[in-house]
Amino acid sequence: MGGTGQYYLGTSGWVYAHWKGRFYPETLPQKEYLRYYSQAFRTTEINASFYHLPRPQTFTRWAEQVPEGFRFAVKASRLITHVRRLHNVEEPWDRFLHHACHLGSKLGPVLLQFPPGFKQDLSRLESLFQQTMHLRGACELSSLQLVCEFRHTSWFTEPVYTLLKTYGVALCIADSPRYPREEVITAPFTYFRYHGREQLFASSYSDQELEREAAKIRRYLQEGLTVYIYFNNDAQGYALANARTLERFLSAPTL
């Protein structure tokens, strides 16, 4: 895998109608998409969980369709991050995590993506982290990883980084034309999201850009970090092509 760390590389979601013919065979039924996808990539983000909470048996079924070693990142419910903005979220957060834990050993990081208008609120964030620590007492959540994707500039400060480090929560390194990108390591793993550099969700990365990203990722791997990498520029199948190109750069022997 390169270096002492390992990486998981894939796309944000796997069910896109416009990927039929580009990636999925025309005759492949949608219920087989995940199984097919998992033959090409080792991870994916579950985005559906942002809009509605899947049933426990749905998470179980997804886990059964992928091989050992596959990891699902799960995007936290918008009720928690966007509607309530971390206020009075104890019950929905508990329910969300206990549903997601039905992925078993294939559960990867849980992504908390915050809205652009949500400014820094350390007390609310720490309350969520404290609740998560209590939930980790359940054996199925003992290795739970959290990652925060902030989109308001007020979050990118030392007090926030210190809080993340205290609880072992990763700062999402998000690349987009609209929101800040900061690379600060706050956990034993790191998490990249590529939204498209020129147009949000709708532009491809050049080989030169991806080669530079690969060099950064290699350094993190050499430091022993686990690295999760997701392409969210699904338009025209860019995410698929960019993920494959980045994989080629990461797996190439280094001098």
Give φ, ψ of 125 to 5 degrees: -65, -45
Number of domains making up the chain: 1
CATH of residue 68's domain is 3.20.20.410
The confidence score (pLDDT) of residue 1 equals: 41
pLDDT in tens, the chain (255 residues): 445 899 999 999 999 999 999 999 999 999 999 999 999 999 999 999 999 999 999 999 999 999 999 999 999 999 999 999 999 999 999 999 999 999 999 999 999 999 999 999 999 999 999 999 888 766 467 789 999 999 999 999 999 999 999 999 999 999 998 899 999 999 999 999 999 988 888 899 999 999 999 999 999 999 999 999 999 999 999 999 999 999 999 998 875
- Residue ranges making up the domain that contains 169: 7-251
Whether residue 217 contacts residue 209, with contact meaning beta carbons closer than 8 Å, is answered with: no
The confidence score (pLDDT) of residue 151 equals: 96
Structure tokens at 112: 């908390």
The confidence score (pLDDT) of residue 140 equals: 65
Q: Is there a domain that residue 13 lies in?
A: yes
Give the predicted TM-score (pTM) of the model. 0.95
The confidence score (pLDDT) of residue 2 equals: 44
The confidence score (pLDDT) of residue 4 equals: 85
Q: Is there a domain that residue 90 lies in?
A: yes
The confidence score (pLDDT) of residue 42 equals: 98
The confidence score (pLDDT) of residue 198 equals: 81
Q: Is there a domain that residue 103 lies in?
A: yes
Q: Residues near 191 by Cβ (< 8 Å), separated by ≥ 6? A: 73, 109, 111, 147, 170, 171, 172, 173, 227, 228, 229, 230
Whether residue 56 contacts residue 92, with contact meaning beta carbons closer than 8 Å, is answered with: no
Q: Is there a domain that residue 195 lies in?
A: yes
